[in-house]
Amino acid sequence: MGDALRVGMVGIGNISGQYVDTLPRLPGVALVAAADLDPARQVPGVRMLTPAELYESSDVDLVLNLTVPQAHATVSLSAIAAGKHVYSEKPLALSTVEGQEVLSAATAAGVRVGCAPDTVLGTGTQTARQCVDSGMIGEPVAATAFMVTPGHELWHPAPEFYYQPGGGPLFDMGPYYLTALVTLLGPVRRVTGLASTPQASRVIGSGPRAGTRFPVTVPTHITGTLEHENGALTTLLMSFDVWAATLPRIEVYGTAGSLSVPDPNNFDGEVRVYTPESPTWQPVPPSAGHRDAGRGTGVADLAAALRTNTDHRANGTLAYHVLDIMESLLRATETAQTQQVASTTPRPTPVP
């Protein structure tokens, strides 16, 4: 395996298959071990350990934390305590208090923290960023971001965690949209918003437990306005209560044109631009970002940054700021008052 960053995966759930498919084809990383609380879950061809054994394993350099959100901080702190780098699924933690504990522990231990989403490293968001940075649409003044769906219980066989603290449309899907918005427009300084929970319970729609009803304990329809540090205003809608819509994913509006950004849950997708000089939506060929990327690209980016002693892009500071935005927005919905976002973050360097 040479100088490859040796990865140990903790959590073999639905998302793990995408990492298992991607990691073997990425440069500079090797999946060497996996662990799950359920011993029946296996990764073919990969050495299986208990979580405790994986943290202490001498041939694991980075722990890939794919557990449910409620366990993210606990698993990351255990890995850091064992001297391992960490790359976590989103969100970084359930709260900024937990998130800061993870970042502080990593700094003290001299290890790195990475966090999903790494979808922003693909050609979709990176091509859109190049359009913004090149001035193609002038100075950005506003953006919209919409994520609407009828709910994950329709397809997920065990969806309860999506409707508990750390879930809901904001904490589940918000990191994709907010990370893309910060990548495109920079950090957010204040937020305001409203939220509701139209359904007090949901019914599992597939799998062996289909028909089981479970309670909803978090808001499932959230609207907000974000003020970026550059003055741009973003209108945000995150909902598990919409059966169908014709809304865009992300659009950015500038003084000289408009930009259509593809689904930030994907790595690629068509970027389109509209300008007064060409008053129809025109596709923009992919011009930046990793082609044919998949989940795990952020792990390879971290591995490359370790080798060159540079900053990795899907980093803990960015993930913490996104967490801070989400927490501040929920606080705004509870207090009916605008909330300052205490943290900030540099925009990650573009992907050529």
What are 267-324's pLDDT values in tens digits? 999 999 999 998 999 999 999 999 999 999 999 999 999 999 999 999 999 999 999 9
Q: Quick one: tokens of 67?
A: 């557990």
Question: pLDDT at position 71, please?
Answer: 96
Question: pLDDT at position 205, please?
Answer: 97
DSSP one-letter code for 156: -
Q: What is the pLDDT of residues 216-270, one digit of tens each?
A: 999 999 999 999 999 999 999 999 999 999 999 999 999 999 999 999 999 999 9
Instruction: Give the residue-averaged pLDDT of 206-220.
Output: 97
Those residues whose C-beta lies under 8 Å from the C-beta of residue 88, and which sit 6 or more positions away, are: 65, 72, 75, 76, 113, 114, 115, 116, 319
- Alpha-helical regions (H) of the chain: 16-22, 51-56, 72-81, 96-109, 123-133, 168-185, 297-308, 316-335
Amino acid making up residue 74: T
Question: pLDDT at position 7, please?
Answer: 98
Q: What is the pLDDT of residues 53-71, one digit of tens each?
A: 999 999 999 999 999 999 9
The string over 7-18, giving b where at least 16 C-beta atoms fall within 10 Å of a residue's C-beta and e elsewhere, is bbbbbbeeebee
Using the predicted structure, report yes or no on whether residue 40 has a pLDDT greater than 60. yes
Fold of the 119-290+321-340 domain = Dihydrodipicolinate Reductase; domain 2 (3.30.360)
Question: pLDDT at position 3, please?
Answer: 85
The pairing of strands 140-148 and 113-115 is: unpaired
User: Residues 31, 84: contact at Cβ < 8 Å?
Assistant: no
CATH architecture of 5-115: 3-Layer(aba) Sandwich (3.40)
Angle in degrees, CA 139, 249, 170, rounded to 5 = 105
Measured in whole angstroms, how far is the alpha carbon of residue 19 from the centre of its chain?
Answer: 14
What are the extents of the domains in the chain? 5-115, 119-290+321-340
How far apart (Å, rounded) are the C-alpha atoms in residues 147 and 252? Answer: 15
The candidate with the shortest Cα–Cα distance to 284, out of 169, 82, 162, 131, is 131
Amino acid making up residue 153: E
Question: pLDDT at position 2, please?
Answer: 53
Using the predicted structure, report yes or no on whether residue 124 has a pLDDT greater than 60. yes
pLDDT band at 1 (very low <50, low <70, confident <90, very high): very low
Question: pLDDT at position 269, please?
Answer: 98
Using the predicted structure, report yes or no on whether residue 329 has a pLDDT greater than 60. yes
With tokens 């449910």, the residue in question is 68
